[in-house]
Structure 1
Amino acid sequence: MILLTFGVLLWSIAHLIPSAAPQKRSQWIEQHGESKYKGLFALTILASLLFIVFGWRSTLPEIWYIPSVGLRHVTMLLMMVSFILLGASQSKGTRIKQWIRHPQLTAVAIWAFAHLLSNGEARSVILFGGLLIWAELSIIFINKRDGKWDKPTLIYSWPREALTLVISLVLYAIVAVFLHKYIAGLPIV
C-alpha cells in the first residue's frame, strides 16, 4: 500500500506544481531549461504510474466499506458522463466547453468518484480518493492562477459535435465491455 500511496502522491504533486506554484516552475525552467523540465516531468509521471501499478498489484484488497449493489448502475452512468467529458476535452469546439471550464479534470473527478461508489477496499480508496482530491485541487489552483474564465468562442456544427459524442460513447462501450477486465482485472459485464 506504501507504493500505491507514494505513486498517487508523486502524480499529484508533479501535476499540481504548474498550477499551485507556477513561479517555482518558471524559476526551474529559467535555471535548467524547458527541455530538462519536460524530461524530468515525464520521468516523474512515468515513475508515479509504475508505483501506482505495482502498488495496486502488490496490495491485498482489504475491505474498508461495502458499497451498495444498486450503486453499480450509478457508477456506469457516471462513467459514461466521464467519457463524454473526456471526449469533449479533446475537441476544440464542443458546447460542453461553453459550460465546463475544465472538462478533462471534471471527467477524472467523476471517474474517481464513480469508482469510489462501487469499490470499498483500501487500495481503491487510496487510488480513486487520491485522484479525486488531485483533480479537484487542480481545478481550484488553475482557476486561481488563470483568473477570469474566457469561454471559448469556437463552436462546432451539430453533426461534428454529435460525432465527438458518438466516438466517446463507442470508446466507453469498448472499455466497459472488453478492456476493463484487462486494465483492472475485473470484468464489468
Structure 2
Amino acid sequence: MNMEMLITGVLLWGLVHLMKSVTPGLRASIQSAVGEGPHKGLVTLLLLVSLALMIFGWRSTTAEFVYDPPSWGRHANMTLLFVAILLLGAAQGASRIRQWIRHPMLTGVLIWAVGHLLANGDNKSLILFGGLGLWALISIITVSRNEGVWVKPAKIATAGREMLSIAIVVILYAVLMLVHPWIAGVSVVGG
C-alpha cells in the first residue's frame, strides 16, 4: 500500500502537469466546462494531493536495493542539487542562464532527479526520482514541440541581480541540507 501511494503520487503529478502540453484540447474543454478559477483550484488540489502521496508514500515505504549507486554518487548529487536550485531560480525571472537553457525549471528538476538516482539505488528512489525525471524530460520535449522555434528572452538580468540570485541559491541550498532529514527522513551530511 505504501509503494502504491508513492507510485500514485508520481503518476498524478505527471499526468496533471502533462495535460497542458500533451492534451491541450482536453484541458481546454475541462477549463471551459468548470471555469478558469475552479480549474486552477482543481489543478492545485490535485498537485497538493500528489505531493502528499509522494511524501507519505516515500516515508512509509521500506527501501529495497535495486542497484548499487557509484561511490561518488552522493557527492555528485550534492553538486547537481546546487545546479538544480540555480536553474529553478533562473526560471523565475530574467537571467543569463535563460540565454542558454530553454526550460531551466524542467532542466533543474531533471538534474535533481539524475543526481538523486546517482546517490540512491533503492526501489522508492527509482520510482520517485526516476518518475519525476521522466516527467521533466517528457515535458521538455512536448513543451518545446508545442512552442515551436525557441526565441531566447530579450531581457537579461544585471550582474548585481545575478549575484543576488547566487546568494539566494546558496541560502536555499543550506536550508535544504538542514531540512532534508524532516522531508525525506534521510540526513544529507554524515551517516
- 2:138 match: 137
- 2:31 match: 29
> Deviation above 3 Å: which 4+ runs of structure 1?
none
Instruction: Determine the C-alpha separation between the residues in 2 that align with 1:30 and 1:188.
Output: 45
Shift of 1:131: 0.2
1:66 match: secondary structure: coil
Instruction: Determine the C-alpha separation between the residues in 2 that align with 1:59 and 1:184.
Output: 11
Conserved in 1, the CA contact under 8 Å of 2:55 and 2:183? no
Structure 1 length normalisation: TM-score?
Answer: 0.95
Q: Deviations over 1:36-91 (max 9, x none)?
A: 2111111111111121122112211111112122222111111111111111112x
Structure 2 length normalisation: TM-score?
Answer: 0.94
- 2:100 match: 99
Q: Deviations over 1:111-135 (max 9, x none)?
A: 0110000111100100000000000
Shift of 1:14: 0.4
- 1:77 match: 79
Instruction: Determine the C-alpha separation between the residues in 1 that align with 2:48 and 2:6.
Output: 14
Kindly indicate whether residue 184 of structure 2 is the aligned counterpart of residue 184 of structure 1.
Answer: yes
Aligned residues with identical type, % of pairs? 47
Q: Deviations over 1:124-160 (max 9, x none)?
A: 1000000000000111111111111111111121111
How many residues matched?
Answer: 187
Alignment of 1:34-183 (within 5 A): 34-90=36-92, 92-176=93-177, 178-183=178-183
Q: Which moved more, 1:77-86 or 1:122-131?
A: 77-86
Kindly indicate whether residue 22 of structure 2 is the aligned counterpart of residue 20 of structure 1.
Answer: yes
Instruction: Determine the C-alpha separation between the residues in 2 that align with 1:16 and 1:95.
Output: 27
Q: Which moved more, 1:31-40 or 1:2-11?
A: 31-40
Instruction: Determine the C-alpha separation between the residues in 1 that align with 2:168 and 2:132.
Output: 25
Runs of 5+ consecutive residues of structure 1 not aligned to the other structure = none
Instruction: Determine the C-alpha separation between the residues in 1 that align with 2:50 and 2:21.
Output: 19
Conserved in 1, the CA contact under 8 Å of 2:59 and 2:185? no
2:80 match: secondary structure: helix
In structure 2, give the amino acid aligned to 1:46.
Answer: L
RMSD after superposition:
1.1
